[in-house]
A and B are shown apart, each in its own frame.
Chain A
């Protein structure tokens, strides 16, 4: 497993896409803060040039990060249309090693990237924007912590679908359906049928959306954090097991 992970790390470090992604997000986050700071300094009564508003763009929209997590995996695995891992399997590397090894390396890079970019954004807000001093940084970091397992679940889900599905298009359809569409539909129907509403809250997408709503009024409770983490953990585990079972018998061409 370690050798496999080392080879994947070797590959990904040489992949320009990761560095471009870092650069693009860095520029994006800097631009957001830059624009807010500019208008704070030069526009009369500009109400948004403060840390609370800037950070709320993240903690009040955690579900947006699910799309980013999914997109991140798609980007990293975009070049593997020819199933390079078939060489690894022909060499005798176990399928579970291939599946988990790739995932672990990508998850580590994703977590590292997330923390670096989140820290970078918090630093820029702290440095260039008006401090709101209402505990917004605590809410921000708690939100990132609470949403971490949900993000990892989304990353794992998209990855597993990519490894199992016959085409990229199918993988994307399954991913969007499982992570976004199904919980959204259940949530909508849940407004009429209570049981469906309860079921929808078991999906990370809805749990994170509810968490985000509570952050706006600074009413996040321990229960919210626990629920978000638990749904993330359950779906992460579920996607892992589901992926392992199906990949074990997949015909590799």
Chain B
């Protein structure tokens, strides 16, 4: 049976009078790759900063590694690696020196661990180049290397593919999958590039305006991401009235680009065409599609 590596209960965080997180509950089980999805300002980074101890919740509790004592969180954080917001390093030192600094600090006895993690992120050839001369992508890679330095059981990554080129994104995905499958590392990852999350995540948490809308496994999400008919017409409002009146369809949504998403009657394309022609509505396109993660999230936000 899987055990819990992170449990957040009724978390509320306010900055002055502005609530950035409100009654958030979150659960991550061992071995999961948890994707935290939310738009800008949803509270993803704030949530991760609370987990990392860089900020404090005004209400609620955080439990790490199935513990029931928040006081021990500092100790349990030694089993956790984190890359939150911009990676922070001593700019006048090289990549190796920065990692050596943290290796000493974390009490890691194996010196060759530095070379290992630098190889994993593709930075083993930076030599004497100081971090001040690194590109954003290189700093991001170094941040990931640091989060892996002590072989953590739980990895918290806040938009780790920021600044990475396509090859880097692919390497990152492969590395995270390897860590999860080979070492059973639990990963919590946030990203704006939802297509990337879809490739690796096993469980999602949807956050919007400081509230956790839903936590769902990728399997359940796939079932929920219903197919729909994508209908392009010149008079969408008129067609919608007719769909409801003539065919009894009520589960549809109109988009600004004169597009209707119809979630029922998926095999009735012919009937819809006939209706449009009969009522002199110009039909520009009709196709069957599946809801993307972005659309699912947007629909969830609107419903809530």
Q: Decide if A and B are genuine partners.
A: yes
A92 with B104: in contact, given A87-B146, A253-B85 (CB under 8 Å)?
A: no
**Interface-facing stretch out of B49-57, B242-250, B258-266, B275-283:** B49-57
Given A92-B74, A251-B55, A7 contacting B85 (CB threshold 8 A) = no
B143 to chain A minimum Cβ distance, whole angstroms, is 9
Q: Which of B100, B150, B156 contacts A10 (CB 8 A)?
A: B100
Q: Looking at chain B's contact residues, is the secondary structure mostly helix, strand, loop, or mixed?
A: mixed
Closest chain A residue to B100 by CB distance?
A: A10
The answer to whether A10 touches B82, judged by C-beta atoms less than 8 angstroms apart, is: no
Partner of A3, one of B85, B100, B107: B107
Would you call A91 an interface residue if the criterion is a C-beta within 8 Å of the partner chain's C-beta atoms? yes
Chain A residue nearest in CB terms to B97: A14
- Chain A residues whose CB sits within 8 angstroms of the CB of B156 once the complex forms: 90
Task: Kindly specify which of B28-36, B87-95, B166-174, B222-230 makes contact with the partner chain.
Answer: B87-95
Q: Quick one: CB contact mask for A39-67 with B, threshold 8 Å, 1 for yes?
A: 00000000000000000000000000000
Residues on A with C-beta less than 8 A from B111 are: none
CB distance from A158 to the nearest CB of B (A): 20
**Is there contact, CB below 8 Å, between A10 and B52?**
no
Chain B residues closer than 8 Å to A222, beta-carbon distance: none
- Asked whether B86 lies within 8 Å of A90 as measured between CB atoms, the reply is no
Hey, which chain A residues are within 8 Å of B75, CB to CB? Answer: 92
Choose among B88, B90, B106 the residue with the greatest number of A CB atoms under 10 Å from its CB: B88
Question: 1/0 contact trace for B94-116 toward A, CB 8 Å?
Answer: 00010011101111000000000
Q: Is B27 interfacial (CB 8 A cutoff)?
A: no
Flag if B80 contacts A6 (CB, 8 Å). no
B78 within 8 A of A: yes
Quick check: B54 and A7 within 8 Å, CB to CB?
no
Q: Known contacts A4-B105, A11-B90, A84-B90: does B54 contact A91 (CB below 8 Å)?
A: no
Q: B77 on the interface (CB 8 Å rule)?
A: yes
Known: A3-B105, A11-B90, A15-B92. A92 touches B100 (CB 8 A): no
Cβ contacts under 8 Å, B56 to chain A: 249, 251
Is B78 in contact with A91, judged by CB distance below 8 angstroms? Answer: yes
Q: Closest approach, in angstroms, between the C-beta of A13 and any C-beta of chain B?
A: 11
User: What's the least CB distance linking A117 to chain B, in Å?
Assistant: 24
Taking a contact as CB atoms under 8 Å apart, the answer to whether A91 and B88 are in contact is: no
Which residues of A have CB within 8 Å of B81? Answer: 90-91
- Set of chain B residues within 8 Å of A251, measured between Cβ atoms: 54-56
Residues of A within 8 A of B78 (CB): 91-92
The chain B residue with its CB closest to the CB of A78 is B92
B84 located at the interface, meaning its Cβ lies under 8 Å from any Cβ of chain A in the complex:
yes
Residues of A near B54 (CB, < 8 A) are: 86, 89-90, 251-253
Closest to B56 in A: A249
Q: Are A84 and B104 neighbours in the complex by a CB distance under 8 Å?
A: no
- Tell me the bound Cα distance from A253 to B55 in angstroms: 8
Known contacts A92-B75, A92-B78, A92-B80; 16 additional CB pairs below 8 A are A3-B107, A7-B101, A10-B104, A11-B90, A11-B101, A14-B93, A14-B97, A82-B86, A82-B88, A84-B89, A86-B84, A87-B102, A89-B54, A90-B80, A251-B56, A252-B49
Interface residues of B (CB under 8 A from A): 49, 52-56, 73-78, 80-82, 84-86, 88-93, 97, 100-102, 104-107, 146, 150, 156
Q: List 15 A-B contacts (CB under 8 A).
A: A3-B105, A10-B101, A82-B86, A86-B52, A87-B88, A88-B105, A89-B53, A90-B81, A90-B82, A91-B105, A91-B150, A92-B73, A92-B76, A92-B78, A251-B55
Instruction: Identify the A interface with B (CB < 8 A).
Output: 3-4, 6-7, 10-11, 14-16, 79-80, 82-84, 86-94, 249, 251-253
